[in-house]
Structure 1
């Protein structure tokens, strides 16, 4: 049952990262500007992030099975709309539908593990599901690039639509939730989406929440915006790579990003030292992005992209910080807020970098230089905000 749910999450990861390889042919056929390209990529993450609260409440009310079976068909429909999109507007509609349909894909996996697996297996099982989902990111590297080169970008969406329909059928067939004990008669009802939002906002009474949100909004966003949006166009337009060659670089970057979280998780120093690691690695990440923006050397851009993938796992340290910064009764809400900040931050960074690239192009400046410098500035700004704003007092 869990593997069937993991297939939905794997497709969600694929949809999240198609833009880097699908972007160049989209620009060529639909005449998209860099701003439109960024807005298109951002719309998935915006709808995904906004729907997290709604899907969380739905899981509480309807359960894992009904939530994913009701939501995921929107991803199938969105992929079909995108595959047949005659214009930018239809492409945007498809992305919003896909993001909405994929919104519960990770939540249902974690809730299922938490409810039906022993507590001592939660971390290991969650890690296994994250590793399996990485197959979706790998699929949008060389395999997607090859498919588009031998056909066109519409086939890419068509294959993802078919795969999503098969994943939905697998979940319908295999996922059966075990009976859960009835809640006590005096148990409070699950919160409405509005009440859940108010509970999240109450976290800002803690002075360190704002710094956490500022950091969470840019840490993962830097990796996804590079790997999932600008990497392919940069290698093709700046250095003359073919789509498959760009896919190979994306594949290597993805493999590094799949290993990185486990390494950082094992090396996590905890306490106040973890905060220094978060600050230091964010500044290293910003430096890598700035170097890619300014140096314009093909081998160096490839090496720095792969290095960024291997570095990207530093974001996993935030989970330990959230756990230590909030008392147990607030951790669930804190993790929800962290997740929303992370995905809405991706949407913001992709939109802002698209805008920066468009303005740079109209001013005669290379758009990728502007996009990467904007990314570097946003990652550095998030780290500086985390440093200067109040932080949780943790032991050394």
Structure 2
């Protein structure tokens, strides 16, 4: 059942990383600026993140299976709208529909694991899910680059739409959510919303969300938006060559979450490791920004793909930072922060890229330095703002 749920998550990973391969053709067809391209890519993540609270309520009230089966058809509709669009605003609307449809894709996996696996296995099983779901990024490496180069970006959306239909059918046929022991009477929607208010009122929530908003966003902004243009414009790579690099980065990123999940440690040690990894992560982005060598850019990007696996520790930290009754909603809030962070980072990097171009400064230097700065700021917030109480870590 977890594997069936992972099919929707894998498709959401594919949809959120198409921008890196489609960017050149989209800019040519729709006469897009760098900022327009950032809005296109960020609209998926904004819709995805904005719907997390509602998807969390849906999962709590109606279950994992019904929530994902109800929402995911919107991703199929969005793929069709995107493939047929002849106007930039329609293209963005398609991305919004895809984002809403994919909104429960990862959350249903984490909540299912939290409810039906032992707490001690949460990080390791979540790491495997992140690794398996990352297969979706493989499709947006060399295979999608070949398809887009041989046909068009529209063909890419058609193929992803067909795959989304297959994923929806797999969940319909194979997922049967087990009953939870000691299940409580169903809450009303207003009561569920009040519980979210409780989460935001806790003093340690802010630091968790500020770092959560930049770690995944950094990787997806590079892999899903800027990697293709970086290799093509800075180093003269072809679309397929840049797709090969994207494929290699995606393969390496599959290894990171299971690897980091195996080495998870509870308590203060986990939080210290999270801060150290975030700072090392920032250093890799700074290296790509300022050192400007093809081999180093590729090596650093691959290391970023591997080190991004430490995000599974952030989920494990959320798992123990709140009372058991709030675990599902805490994960929904954290996931919301992650994907709103992706939307904000992709919009912001598109904006700074446009400003850099206007002043004759190399675009990628400013974009990647901005990402590095945001990672350092997020790590500082996580380290210095209030930490969870000991009662929640037991």
Q: Is the 8 A contact 2:282 2:376 kept in 1?
A: yes
Matches within 5 A, 1:78-89: 78-89=78-89
Separation in 2, partners of 1:277, 1:171: 36
Q: Is the 8 A contact 1:57 1:191 kept in 2?
A: no
Change (3 A) 1:388 1:125: closer
Aligned to 2:242: 246
Q: Is the 8 A contact 2:132 2:254 kept in 1?
A: no
> How many positions carry a matched residue from both structures?
391
Matches within 5 A, 1:1-396: 1-113=1-113, 126-177=126-177, 180=179, 187-192=184-189, 194-392=190-388
Separation in 1, partners of 2:308, 2:125: 21
Separation in 2, partners of 1:386, 1:214: 7
Change (3 A) 1:327 1:122: closer
Separation in 2, partners of 1:69, 1:220: 26
Separation in 2, partners of 1:55, 1:111: 11
Separation in 1, partners of 2:210, 2:233: 32
Change (3 A) 1:102 1:385: same
CA deviation after TM superposition for structure 1 residue 206, in Å? 2.7
| TM-score after normalising by structure 2 | 0.91
Separation in 2, partners of 1:132, 1:279: 25
Separation in 2, partners of 1:29, 1:220: 29
Comparing 126-135 with 340-349, greater Cα deviation is found at 126-135
CA deviation after TM superposition for structure 1 residue 126, in Å? 4.5
Separation in 1, partners of 2:194, 2:338: 19
Separation in 1, partners of 2:225, 2:214: 15
CA deviation after TM superposition for structure 1 residue 58, in Å? 2.4
| TM-score after normalising by structure 1 | 0.90
CA deviation after TM superposition for structure 1 residue 62, in Å? 3.5
Separation in 2, partners of 1:371, 1:287: 14
CA deviation after TM superposition for structure 1 residue 251, in Å? 1.4
CA deviation after TM superposition for structure 1 residue 393, in Å? 6.1
CA deviation after TM superposition for structure 1 residue 66, in Å? 3.1
CA deviation after TM superposition for structure 1 residue 287, in Å? 1.4
Change (3 A) 1:95 1:181: closer
- Could you list the runs of 5+ residues in structure 2 that have no partner in the other structure? none
Deviations 1:35-61 (A, max 9, x none): 111111111111111112222322344
Q: Is the 8 A contact 1:231 1:250 kept in 2?
A: yes
CA deviation after TM superposition for structure 1 residue 324, in Å? 3.8
Q: Is the 8 A contact 2:131 2:258 kept in 1?
A: no
Q: Is the 8 A contact 2:131 2:253 kept in 1?
A: no
